[in-house]
Amino acid sequence: MNVNKYLAEVLLTEEQIQIRVAELGSQISDDYASRSPLLLGILKGSVVFLSDLMRHISVPHEIDFLAISSYGKEARESSGAIKILKDLNESVAGKDLLIVEDIIDSGLTINYLIHLLRGRIPASLKICTLLNKPARRVTEVPLDYVGFDIEDRFVFGYGLDIDELFRNLPFVGVAKSGL
């Protein structure tokens, strides 16, 4: 499977991503200076970002993962009907939660997760996303840390998939249209 069949152009190079991830890590380290946050990675898209980001966070912290799926993915859009495939292993009550996402698009997925997790009474809840597509937002989302605002184009690589492939790419690419 050749990536060039899918790739229209490189949007964010490996170097651009690594510089920004290090900046986010040091900002998070400052903001959580006397606390030990729990980073919640949303599977599968956030794994690459989370594993790089956590190595730039200097405060002690835990990690956990939630796996979700959204119905009606055919049109490369989330429907907002979300199913939990794997819940967190530990209770989050009283913890400083930092949700780590790959991309915020319509905002429906993250809003569902915010609602779910607030119900479990954490001490605090913040959102960190590598990518943000503000033009696609259908519901307001309070984002605390954003790697890059991008235009409304379907992207893949660095954790994001195109038909489950190419999550391993070190860069973020734009998919050819009509795939």
156 binds ligand IMP (CB under 6 A): yes
Interacting residue with ligand IMP among 24, 28, 53, 103 (CB under 6 A): 103
159 lies in the site for ligand IMP, by CB under 6 A: no
Q: How far is the CB of 45 from Mg ion (least distance, A)?
A: 3
What size, in residues, is the chain?
179
Question: What CA–CA distance (Å, rounded) separates 50 from 48?
Answer: 6
Smallest separation (angstroms) from Mg ion to the CB of 161: 9
Preceding omega of 83 cis (within 30 degrees of 0):
no
* Pick from 133, 158, 132: nearest CA to 46: 158
Check if 105 is active-site: yes
Catalytically annotated residue among 105, 152, 161, 163: 105
Distance CA 46, CA 56 (A): 15
- CB count within 10 Å of CB 118 equals 11
Beta pairing partners, 65: 41
> In the set 24, 97, 130, 155, which binds ligand IMP (CB under 6 A)?
155
* Between 1 and 93, CB nearer to ligand IMP: 1
Q: Note whether 154 binds ligand IMP by CB under 6 A.
A: yes
Q: Which residues bind ligand IMP (CB under 6 A)?
A: 45, 78, 101-110, 154-156, 160
